Amino acid sequence: MKKTSTRLADGRELLYYDSRDDTVRDAPDLRPLDPVATTAQIRHDPLLGDAVAVASHRQARIYHPPADECPLCPSRDGRRSEIPAADYDVAVFENRFPSLVGDAGRCEVVCFTSDHDASFADLTEDRAALVLEAWTDRTAELAELPQVKQVFCFENRGAEIGVTLGHPHGQIYGYPFVTPRTELMLRSARAHLAKTGRNLFDDVLAHERSEGTRVVLEGGHWVAFVPYAAHWPYEVHLYPKQRVRDLRALGDEARTEFPQIYLELLRRFDRIFGPDEPPTPYISAWHQAPFGELGDLGEAGLGGFALHLELFTIRRTAGKLKFLAGSESGMNVFINDVPPETAATRLREVASK
């Protein structure tokens, strides 16, 4: 992998990740851009104890542009975009409309391919491996920023999810705090460790593998299963068999196997509802341990956090979505219309031949 760092016309950082070491990235950004002006701020809720990012400037972000005006496509035929090069493998740049900025963190956009009409599931295993390297590199670099306490790599896919740009891409958030979801997992892991002397993540994975009814896919180094208390109609958690805290610690064998496992999962998701249905909207989210002071507390303090990927769709059946209505949005109590065992069975049924 070759990494090239450059700057866009407004000063934001742009990074190219290339498979070939002899690739040259020297195309300048010729757009007449003004410096990025943001109003992002973090406000803390005194009742719930969580944080809300208030970012009114995002109201002006690009919204469903036609394909020939996509800002994530390469710059070609006289049309200039966020990527000055005429082609690219994987590109990462600072978001022009960030939710987190400066002392409040950092937001980046990850373009998986220059092909506007592709999806992550269409990538080759080599390209998916390059994306994994980009995620890992960004995690390592953002971990060095003093204001960043946790890195979140994710992909939103589909207009139903709220995606405003159709080009295959994801995002990376560097949060200035430990996210509420992670704090809940850490709390449960600490309680389990105090009660049993064992690691919660290890026990969950061992139980799922032993029971087997919800296991969707298993390789030499990864296991994918529908969790016992899945929140979403079709939800899969993907764990490396060797527990690590974040992408930086992932071993070479797990890295090598990841593309084939992950691509198979994504392709199965697109088959869940039948051959004549549109692509399945989904969210794919990497859960990584926080770092900094909290991350230095070790097994007892951090609860032995385990890196894992969560993949889920809001589509509950053909033509119908799962909406977060009163119970979910008001009380954070999820109601799942699809039994996890049924979801796991379906995801095994649609395996590649």
**Which residues are identified as catalytic?**
169
Among the listed residues 206, 207, 230, the one whose alpha carbon sits nearest the alpha carbon of residue 347 = 230
**Alpha-carbon distance values, 112 to 26, 54, 135, 229, 292 (Å):** 20, 28, 11, 31, 29
- Determine phi and psi for 305, rounding to 5 degrees: -55, 145
Residue 65, classed as helix, strand or coil, is coil
- Angle (CA) 52-15-261 rounded to 5° is 80
- Judge contact between 41 and 97, C-beta under 8 A: no
Give me the sign of the Cα torsion angle 228, 229, 234, 240: negative
Residue with tokens 């109601």: 335
Residue 94 sits at φ, ψ, to 5 deg, of -65, 135
- Burial of 5 from C-beta contacts in 10 A (0-12 / 13-18 / 19+): exposed
Q: Which residue(s) pair with 238 in the sheet?
A: 224, 309
d(CA 55, CA 88): 30
Strand partners, 321: 315
- Residue showing tokens 């990235």: 25
Please tell me whether residue 220 adopts helix, strand or coil conformation: coil
DSSP letters of 279-342? Answer: PPPEEEEEE----TTGGGSHHHHH-----EEEEEESEEETTEE----IIIIIH-----SS-HHH
Identify the helix (H) or strand (E) that includes residue 91.
strand 90-94
| DSSP character at residue 36 | P
